Chain A
């Protein structure tokens, strides 16, 4: 009994230290790769041009990006999104709690990387999606949400979190 106790008193701190070292060293972005897939919520909404959005337009591999004209950080990620859109990544915008006039003006001014943007002035679809603010990005594969990044999208997050998932999906099909 005594021997066991003595052993434990020394071993437990070592195990705890090793555990924390491991946690510290794991890259935070990779944590987002483990995500329970769920269906993209059903919706009936228009895009920024006033036309109804069809559910099929979300098929395939899509990046859904939550943005707004009042969102400052969205400007920060904008160049990266533009780059992605030029590299055959299909991006769909989710215009969050915004006025359509302001949103359209923003796109005119800064450029439009989106195939189209869903107009969600009250944030209803965003709420069902679990959006916590702007900017935020979701990876959709065949209408299933399989990745979620809070904050701005950038090269590091894209490469460590979303790209592997896209590769895996492409291999699957």
Chain B
């Protein structure tokens, strides 16, 4: 019963949103009716609430184990803790799409109601958002219905979710990510509304600035959580695989980062408006592209959800439609948008626009990498694989250029060229120090990898240039933008940590019987297989190996496990990780061999903690920027 009501509420939301569009598109041929906006707003708010209540009921259905609903039956189980019954809702396509729509609706209702009732763009924004939510609701209800029942009798018990998915980090990762992805519908709709209106005296940046910043934070956290989870759960000690689904999350992130920087230029100094508008539209377009790629099954990826061409075609058409709508109006208005000011070379604006170019190139590279196999396969049937070797090679020079720009541009001036003297000062010391330290690292590690060294050098450039700025700020009271400093230091740290990780980390595969102990090299001594224990846990059987070893003199004890889950009979490996400031020891059990010994895989991963810390820094920097005015 509740399932039917919930379903009905979603359908009613579809009706209301359609009404909004019909009324406004029909009546906008006549003159503007002052009440029409109010009516539309009421309808919109009601439609949004219907969606929220519908989803709330759905959560209730999941918690109360209603296994007559097909989706809940295939993804949940009565033995699951309540937390995981709820999170199982977004563990697959239909439910996660529902969540996506809920967030889309939430952002929209908050934003639209925050606009003053006389705001000239309110109506158009409302219409754009209604159209988008409507399109996705129809997608949900027509092709991916989470409300479908198993008739005539529901399932007695649910099928249980994949044990890998029973994890707190993985539970929050989709919500964070979606909040980020769909948050940029605000900038997309508002800018499109602005372009449709055609009144170029209006200011639009201020209205969407903070909304976009917050969305960026969610997107960053979402990506970082996914990476962190992959690291400690998947068992390979890797945190980023340039998998297509990771890539389609990175593209909007790059566009969003460029957008924010460009917003800075366009609101401070009235240039780069066209770039900023384009980026503001592009972010959501890339989110749509991401949703399409993941849910259409078109690309091989460990994440892929559906393999239904019907879903893919709907998403493709709908995304294509609203993309085309926004970009066409953008192209149409382009002549009117060009500002009369020239960008002065060597000015801050010029660096910001070069940054935009860099980010767009990054986005293009990822797009190329993701679609190239598809293109080649459709042309010649040949299959090509693109992965870390490609992306690392392409991104290395890009981040070097980015680092150089960050180093130079923070001291650049608005609308004036930087003097050569200023340039010289900002560049020399950090560059020399970076080269020096790079040399020291080479002497200390005796490892050389051109790509990694470019990354380390880039990281150093940023870190040292900020070091000097902080010194300058402390002694000479020279102004430093704290939020931007923290975020950029985070970025420099990221470049440094990722590159150091790639040259220093190593792996050892060992084979021992219980009770045995071996010493591998000077760093890795007395690797002892102390004991092997077998026991039962809540819904799985466990084999746990107790290991201790000396790494660089420090004693470390770890107990990696193999688990067999009751419901699906699935066997998973739980790696044991010991973290310290500089490195993680990452131990995984392999298999038992005929003679009773076991294989182990020990990975020593350097600077991993620094990677997570750098993400935290970037988010903190952004938070400082948002709240700066309030603090002052």
* Chain A residues with a Cβ under 8 A of chain B: 2, 5-7, 9-10, 13-14, 17, 19-26, 31, 33-35
Residue of A nearest to B324 (CB): A13
- 8 Å CB contact of A6 from B298, B334, B371, B381: B334
Contact B323 A25 (CB under 8 A): no
Residues of chain A contacted by B334 (CB below 8 angstroms): 2, 5-6, 9
Q: How far is the CB of A36 from chain B (nearest CB, A)?
A: 8
A10-B324, A13-B323 known; A23 and B331 CB under 8 Å?
Answer: no
Contact A31 B298 (CB under 8 A): no
A5-B334, A34-B381 known; A24 and B309 CB under 8 Å?
Answer: yes
Contact A10 B331 (CB under 8 A): yes
Contact A13 B327 (CB under 8 A): yes
Of B22-30, B113-121, B312-320, which binds chain A? B312-320
Q: Which 7 A-B pairs have the closest CB atoms?
A: A34-B381, A17-B320, A6-B331, A9-B331, A24-B312, A24-B309, A10-B331
- 8 Å CB contact of A23 from B317, B327, B378: B378
Contact B324 A24 (CB under 8 A): no
- 8 Å CB contact of B298 from A7, A17, A23, A35: A23
Q: How far is the CB of A169 from chain B (nearest CB, A)?
A: 18
Q: How far is the CB of B341 from chain A (nearest CB, A)?
A: 17
Interface SS majority for chain A: helix
Q: How far is the CA of A25 from the CA of B297 in the complex (A)?
A: 12
Q: How far is the CA of A7 from the CA of B335 in the complex (A)?
A: 12
Type the 1/0 row for B362-376, where 1 means its CB is closer than 8 Å to any CB of A: 000000000100110
Answer yes or no: B507 CB below 8 A from chain A CBs: no
Most chain A CB neighbours (cut-off 10 Å) among B327, B371, B377: B327
Most chain B CB neighbours (cut-off 10 Å) among A7, A21, A24, A33: A24
Interface SS majority for chain B: helix
Residue of B nearest to A5 (CB): B334
Q: How far is the CA of A154 from the CA of B328 in the complex (A)?
A: 47
Q: How far is the CA of A14 from the CA of B319 in the complex (A)?
A: 11
Q: How far is the CB of B566 from chain A (nearest CB, A)?
A: 20
Q: How far is the CB of B593 from chain A (nearest CB, A)?
A: 16
* Chain B residues with a Cβ under 8 A of chain A: 285, 292, 296, 298, 309, 312-313, 316-317, 319-320, 323-324, 327-328, 330-332, 334-335, 338, 371, 374-375, 377-378, 380-382
Contact A14 B324 (CB under 8 A): yes
Q: How far is the CB of A2 from chain B (nearest CB, A)?
A: 7
Q: How far is the CA of A6 from the CA of B329 in the complex (A)?
A: 10
Residues of chain A contacted by B296 (CB below 8 angstroms): 24
Contact A17 B316 (CB under 8 A): yes
Q: How far is the CB of A4 from chain B (nearest CB, A)?
A: 11
Residues of chain B contacted by A19 (CB below 8 angstroms): 371, 374-375, 378
- 8 Å CB contact of A10 from B285, B328, B377: B328
Can you sample 14 A-B contacts with CB below 8 Å? A6-B332, A7-B331, A10-B324, A10-B331, A17-B316, A17-B320, A21-B313, A23-B298, A24-B312, A26-B378, A31-B381, A33-B381, A34-B380, A35-B381
Q: How far is the CB of B323 from chain A (nearest CB, A)?
A: 5
Contact A24 B381 (CB under 8 A): no
Contact B309 A13 (CB under 8 A): no
A21-B313, A24-B296 known; A31 and B335 CB under 8 Å?
Answer: no
Q: How far is the CA of A6 from the CA of B195 in the complex (A)?
A: 14
Q: How far is the CA of A2 from the CA of B378 in the complex (A)?
A: 33
Q: How far is the CB of A121 from chain B (nearest CB, A)?
A: 15
Q: How far is the CB of B328 from chain A (nearest CB, A)?
A: 5
Residue of B nearest to A33 (CB): B381
Contact A20 B292 (CB under 8 A): yes
Q: How far is the CA of A9 from the CA of B313 in the complex (A)?
A: 22
Residues of chain A contacted by B319 (CB below 8 angstroms): 17
Contact A24 B298 (CB under 8 A): yes
Q: How far is the CB of B500 from chain A (nearest CB, A)?
A: 36
Q: How far is the CA of A10 from the CA of B382 in the complex (A)?
A: 30
Q: How far is the CA of A10 from the CA of B320 in the complex (A)?
A: 11
Known pairs A17-B319, A20-B316 / 17 extra A-B pairs, C-beta < 8 Å = A2-B335, A5-B331, A6-B332, A6-B334, A7-B331, A10-B327, A13-B323, A17-B320, A19-B378, A20-B298, A20-B312, A20-B374, A24-B309, A26-B378, A31-B381, A33-B381, A35-B381
Residues of chain A contacted by B378 (CB below 8 angstroms): 19, 22-23, 26
A6-B334, A17-B320, A34-B380 known; A24 and B327 CB under 8 Å?
Answer: no
Q: How far is the CA of A20 from the CA of B331 in the complex (A)?
A: 23
Contact A25 B309 (CB under 8 A): yes
Q: How far is the CB of A40 from chain B (nearest CB, A)?
A: 21
Contact B377 A31 (CB under 8 A): yes
Q: How far is the CA of A6 from the CA of B335 in the complex (A)?
A: 9
Residues of chain A contacted by B312 (CB below 8 angstroms): 20, 24
Contact B323 A24 (CB under 8 A): no
Q: How far is the CA of A23 from the CA of B377 in the complex (A)?
A: 9
A22-B378, A24-B309, A26-B378 known; A13 and B320 CB under 8 Å?
Answer: yes
